[in-house]
Structures are given as C-alpha cells and as structure tokens.
Structure 1
Amino acid sequence: MARSSGGYVTVKMIGFFTTLAGKREAIVKIRSATTLEVFLKQIAKQLGAEFERALFDPELNDPRPRALILVNEREISVLQGLKTKVKPGDSIVIVPVSHGG
C-alpha cells in the first residue's frame, strides 16, 4: 500500500475502537522509529479522550489488558511488547479484548 510507506504508519481499529475513533483506519505521519508505547500514546491523544480512556487501563497506563495489538501482522507479545519499534511503513491493528465473568 503506497500510502503507508515513506514516513507513515497505518493504524487499523477493530470493533468499538472504530466507533470511538470515528474511523476504521488512520494514516499517521512519523518522523523516525519510535517505541510502540510512545506511538500509541500519541495516536490515542489524537483520536480523543474517549478513545484514550478505552485503550489505556488507567491503573496500569497500559493498553494490553484492553486490546490485542499487532504490528505488521504479529501480536506484540511475540515481539518486544510495548518496546517494539514502530517505523515508517509499518501497520498496526488494535483489536478490543472482552472478558467474560
């Protein structure tokens, strides 16, 4: 996909994250490689307070209890977690996790 290379990262939202973001996909410009943690905090702020609250667990300040996150089609637990490097041309997918009880 030409739009996602050369300084851009494609972020796809699934489920209620799409509703909160108001779109299924965001093309985000980045200047250089950064950690997934920094990138997610930046994109969450851009997508609004409601999206940010839904993504990040307030006690842990961590998205992992609430979302399955893939970078280039690989779940981040098999990479370096939130320390995974995100660089221009990468693709991120954010999938909500629901827990029953």
Structure 2
Amino acid sequence: MEERMEVKVSTILDLAQFLGTSELTVSVPAKATVMNVLEAVRELTGRDVREKIIAPETGDLKSFIRVFVEGRDVRFLQGLATPVNPGDTVLILPPAAGG
C-alpha cells in the first residue's frame, strides 16, 4: 500500500467560496508536490481549483495568484512541483481588491 501523508490547505475570498470552505485537510502520496495537493483538493471537494489558479496556456500559476507552502512563495521554489511534507500548510491566495 502506498505511503500517504496529510497536508492542510487554506484559502480565502472567492476560492473559499468556490470550494465551499476556507480550510481542509487532504491525503497525498508521501513524496507529493503542490500539484498533487491541488489534485487531492479536487478529489475531496469535486471542485477543480486548478482551473481557477493555473493558466492553461502555460501550465503555471496565473500571475495574480499566490501559493505558499509553510509561508514560502512557491514562485521562488519549484512552482507547482514544490515538494510538501507531512503536516505542511498550503495557502492559496486569490487577488484581493479594495480601497
């Protein structure tokens, strides 16, 4: 049986509304990446958050989306291929407008 681990996913605003929650815990393979976490969110919620945050033309994060693993921006790590560890928190931040 494949070894698995749990990772926490948090988000706010429109993405929380889209997913129906601002926080959830997903089970992913032991050597998972941010992309694996996003796939697990889809499996758990039935909602594909990837369509909201990944640019189809590049396969990378949309420029206005920020994703953090344990407080570190994945843009400065390995992007969607950034590894996650057991108990990590993946924070997905959509753009926020206001004044």
TM-score, structure 1 normalization: 0.74
**Regions of 4+ moved over 6 Å:** none
| Identity value in percent | 27
Q: 1 or 2 for the larger relative contact order (CA 8 Å, sep ≥6)?
A: 1
Report the structure, 1 or 2, having the larger helix content. Answer: 1
Q: How far does residue 47 in structure 1 lie from its aligned partner after superposition? A: 3.3
Q: Alpha-carbon deviations, 1:29-70, whole Å to 9, x = none?
A: 123021222322332454334634212222223334342000
13-22 or 65-74, which moves further after superposition?
65-74
Cα distance 1:58–1:73, how it changes in 2: closer, same or farther (>3 A)?
same
Structure 2 residue runs without a partner (length 5+): none
Q: CA RMSD in A?
A: 2.5
User: How many pairs are equivalent?
Assistant: 94
Normalised to the residue count of structure 2, the TM-score between the two structures is: 0.75
| 8 Å contact kept, 1:21–1:51 | yes
